[in-house]
Amino acid sequence: MPRLLPTVIHAPTLPLAVLSAAKLDGQLWEVFDGYSPVDEPDRPELRALALLASVDDGDIIVGRSAAWVLGAMPRPVLPIDVCGNARRKAPRRGGIHFRELLIDERDVLTLAGRVRVTGRERTIRDIAFAAERMHGDTSAVIELCGRDPARLTACVNEIAARGRAPGKVRALDYLAHVAAELSAAQPPLTR
């Protein structure tokens, strides 16, 4: 049987009053600034579709926003971090933080067929290089590495192998802190 509603519904599709009433009736739940049917499971593709109305074609969702899309953070951190086309001349929307980053295509996932987001390892590196720490960063990095110390070590080794880079020492210190947290969180029988 075909689905009557799209996976994520935004206010232009249906009036906000109708969407809010359906949410109160338990038919929809809120995902970022959109709504989804309650039988739709929370997954990265759904979160990516929820951000689709906020990003332009060709933009890549990065940093903490990518961590939210990948399920490592419970709520999106505003503004949404996006790596956009620097040559674009059109005006940008509010609520979006545009960053100019060099991102290898191997570090990019395409979710729901059209939303581009950085993969787990690249997102860990982006959070490690962030100038400011936010509540939830450490738990997000632990979730992004799948609670696997080897995966975190691979990210540390990749950063350490780089040449000189602004914030490299701070990023390595932060990931050492995350590794200590991860080690402390491991059950004693698996150490």
Residue ranges of domains in the chain: 42-190
Q: Would you give the DSSP letter of residue 9? A: B
Strands (E), the chain: 28-31, 34-37, 60-61, 80-83, 96-99, 108-111, 115-118
Average model confidence (pLDDT) for the chain? 91
Q: Which two tokens stand for residue 80?
A: 């949404």
Compute the chain's Rg from CA coordinates. 18
Q: What is the pTM of this model?
A: 0.90
Give 106-163 pLDDT, tens digit per residue: 999 999 999 999 999 999 999 999 999 999 999 999 999 999 999 999 999 999 999 9
Average pLDDT over residues 34-55: 94
Average pLDDT over residues 29-34: 93
